[in-house]
Copies of this chain bind each other. A is one copy, B any other.
């Protein structure tokens, strides 16, 4: 995910899962699709090995707050806690500086 630099925000979501992951990848896919439709959404990157890291980028803190309170997202958060995640951490950050490299 690339962005043109301007003041914007990142949500770093780090998590570990238990044995029971039925339904997880469908829900993750669905949430990504819905997130992309939200006001203020800029982009998202995800990867998972021992730990899962999803970083989503937003124009402002208000957009992040609204996405946290989105009704379908609330259902996913509840399911995440009751079924899939052993642990997670959410960090809300302001991007101060950014640089990029592309191979020639």
Which A residues contact B (CB, under 8 angstroms)?
1-2, 9-10, 12, 14, 18, 45-53, 55, 61, 81, 85-103
Contacts and interface: CB of A to CB of B under 8 A. Distances in A.
A18 B103 contact: yes
Given A45-B53, A47-B52, A47-B53, A96 B94 contact: yes
Contacts of A89: 1-2, 98-101
A103 B99 CA distance: 37
A88 B1 CA distance: 10
Nearest to A93: B93
Contact of A45 (B14, B90, B103): B14
A90 B92 CA distance: 17
A48 B48 CA distance: 6
Nearest to A11: B97
Nearest to A48: B47
A49 B46 CA distance: 8
B90 A99 contact: yes
A9 B10 CA distance: 12
